[in-house]
């Protein structure tokens, strides 16, 4: 029995339908309403269900409308829907990834990178202007240590050839001596010189920063991610001092007995919640991000002046939720109404991501691991054809696996990472999405491209064809849902269902050996499914592969 295309819940249209309205009454009213409604050229059938009125659309019209729309809108299918017609085009600043120079690029940074990239892709697709900012941890006492470490253990060659790894190794080594009084003093001196803009010291620091960014750019490229701006805490040291002065002038800065600067962010102004913005020695705090509100305040104000954005989104793990609540609260107290338009998109923690060599230290480790594991899976599969660039394909498929495993649930939930589960070819995985895309692509290669002009839609009446058409019709709703709550899971489950439907239809609706108008119509249907699958995958940050 077929599934209706649209359903109206009777309870939603009856006045005073209180919860004690009996189910059988609702059913009766649904029947009465269904009997009074007439079919027309669009609606071919109206029936009553339990408390609902069900509408079936004229099957040929459904096929014709959906296929034409997908064909005509191409990569903009779903985005041009009237659901978005009232949404104003806006400018969004999105800050994501944000690793710390000379420290490890942990799984939290990876999550921030792929989530931020998804939000940026979605906003761009919906016609918004987006500025992607990578806010580096590029300042603070650790650079005093790093400078001293580099003088002792550094190598200019290694710094040029693999800066991230080399700086990390130097930092680990010097940290072993960090308790030594002499090292402490040297590190303090180095950092003081940095703060005083001593040319030689600054040029060493600048080299650390520039070479790190060059390498980051290369690795982000493998991930399919780019940034418009590499910013960092170093940009805002003077401005942070100005912010402290503004806080003081507005009477918001209070001193504790120890001399620490705090701002009262409590509702009742009873100091029940305070945010520390200044150490007792008068410097703004920048040991960790949580402890550097004045730098973040300066950055937020500066971005507003520079980009005059409509919304600013910070993508970090949920342990920083308090920090951002305080940040937005202080901005409001300072009189910046736009603090209302700042948003923190937080995500949960990932446990158990290890490579064969052990703990993940660098983003590159993850990419290499996913690539080598996928290659191994591909070579051990009998169906793997000779493909032009197996390594590149393995990387794209592997990344899809990582992203789908990450995006399947609510972003805020923690999850246990598993290579085996992520890289399965059957089931709800990124590998399955890639496999479906490649399969549909080779179907088109084999039978030539379908032309929409001469398609006989009467040939697409089988339930498996109708299921795909109905599903394609819903794509805009899913985009709308994700655009409202910025959760990728709606799109993920939509694409997984689409792939399952396409896999079934691939079996039951063969192109090969069918009469030519049937074959053409089916090709057209599969083309539409592949087109929407590819669009959705790209939004998630996945590059669809054409062979596997």
Alpha helices (runs of H) in 381-429, residue ranges in sequence order: 390-407, 419-422
CB proximity list for 200: less than 8 A, separation 6 or greater: 193
The yes-or-no answer on residue 2 being catalytic is: no
Q: In what order do the strands lie in the sheet with 91-95?
A: 229-232, 129-136, 91-95, 311-317, 342-347
Q: Which of 27, 64, 80, 103 is catalytic?
A: 103
The yes-or-no answer on residue 103 being catalytic is: yes
- Consecutive H or E run containing 268: none
Q: Which of 109, 323, 506, 527 is catalytic?
A: 109
Q: Which residue has the tokens 């498996």?
A: 464
Tokens of 133: 């900012």
Q: In what order do the strands lie in the sheet with 52-57?
A: 6-9, 52-57, 43-49
The yes-or-no answer on residue 32 being catalytic is: no
CA 511 to chain centre: 36
- Consecutive H or E run containing 504: helix 489-508
d(CA 183, CA 374): 45
- Give the CA count within 13 Å in the CB-facing half-sphere of 29: 17
Report the candidate in 3, 66, 60, 118 with the shortest Cα–Cα distance to residue 476.
66
Let me know: does 314 contact 344? Beta carbons within 8 Å: yes
Q: Exposed (0-12), middle (13-18) or buried (19+): which is 305, by Cβ within 10 Å?
A: exposed
d(CA 357, CA 106): 15
Helix-strand-coil percent breakdown of the chain, rounded to 5? 55, 15, 30
Q: Please report the DSSP string for 94-157 in residue order.
A: EE---PBTTS---HHHHHHHHHHHHHHHHHHHTT-EEEEEEEEB--SHHHHHHHHHHHHH--HH
What amino acid positions are annotated as catalytic residues?
103, 106, 109
């Amino acid at each position: 029995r077929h599934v209706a295309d649209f359903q109206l819940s009777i309870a939603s249209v009856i006045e005073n339908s209180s919860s004690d309205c009996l189910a059988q009454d609702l059913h009766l009213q649904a029947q009465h309403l269904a009997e009074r409604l007439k079919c027309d050229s669009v609606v071919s059938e109206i029936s009553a269900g339990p408390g609902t009125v069900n509408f079936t659309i004229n099957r040929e019209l459904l096929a014709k409308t959906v296929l034409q729309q997908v064909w005509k809108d191409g990569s903009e299918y779903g985005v041009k829907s009237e659901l978005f017609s009232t949404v104003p085009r806006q400018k969004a600043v999105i800050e994501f990834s944000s690793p710390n120079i000379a420290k490890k690029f942990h799984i939290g940074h990876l999550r921030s990178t792929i989530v931020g990239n998804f939000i940026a892709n979605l906003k761009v697709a919906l016609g918004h202007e987006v500025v992607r900012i990578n806010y580096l941890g590029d300042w603070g006492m650790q650079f005093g240590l790093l400078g001293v470490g580099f003088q002792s253990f550094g190598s200019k060659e290694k710094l040029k050839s693999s800066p991230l790894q080399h700086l990390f190794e130097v930092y680990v080594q010097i940290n072993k001596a960090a308790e030594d009084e002499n090292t402490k003093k040297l590190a303090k001196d180095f950092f003081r010189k940095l703060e005083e803009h001593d040319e030689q010291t600054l040029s060493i620091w600048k080299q650390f920063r520039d070479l790190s960014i060059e390498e980051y750019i290369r690795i982000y490229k493998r991930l399919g991610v780019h940034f418009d701006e590499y910013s960092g805490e170093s940009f805002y040291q003077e401005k942070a001092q100005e912010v402290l002065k503004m806080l003081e002038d507005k009477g918001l800065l209070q001193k504790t007995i120890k001399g620490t600067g705090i701002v009262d962010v409590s509702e009742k102004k009873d100091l029940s919640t305070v945010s520390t913005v200044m150490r007792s020695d008068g410097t703004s705090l920048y040991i960790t991000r949580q402890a550097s509100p004045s730098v973040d305040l300066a950055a937020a104000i500066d971005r507003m002046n520079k980009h005059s954005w409509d919304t600013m989104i910070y993508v970090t793990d949920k342990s920083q939720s308090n920090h951002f609540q305080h940040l937005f609260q202080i901005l409001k107290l300072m009189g910046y109404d736009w603090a209302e338009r700042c948003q923190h998109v937080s995500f949960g923690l990932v446990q158990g991501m290890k490579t064969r060599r052990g703990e993940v230290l660098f983003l590159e480790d993850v990419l290499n691991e996913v690539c080598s594991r996928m290659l191994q899976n591909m070579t051990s599969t009998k169906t793997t054809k000779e493909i032009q660039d197996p390594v590149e394909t393995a990387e794209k498929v592997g990344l899809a696996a990582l992203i789908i495993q990450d995006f399947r649930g609510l972003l805020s939930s923690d999850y246990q990472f598993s290579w085996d589960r992520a890289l399965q070819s059957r089931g709800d995985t990124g590998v399955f999405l890639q496999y479906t895309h490649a399969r549909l692509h080779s179907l088109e290669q084999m039978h030539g491209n379908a032309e929409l002009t001469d398609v006989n839609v009467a040939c697409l009446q089988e339930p498996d064809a109708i299921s795909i058409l109905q599903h394609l019709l819903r794509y805009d709703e899913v985009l709308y849902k994700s655009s409202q709550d910025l959760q990728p899971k709606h799109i993920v489950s939509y694409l997984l269902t689409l792939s399952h439907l396409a896999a079934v239809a691939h079996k039951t609706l063969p192109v090969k050996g069918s009469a030519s108008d049937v074959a053409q119509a089916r090709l057209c249907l599969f083309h539409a499914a592949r087109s929407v699958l590819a669009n959705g995958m790209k939004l998630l940050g996945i590059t669809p592969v054409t062979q596997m």
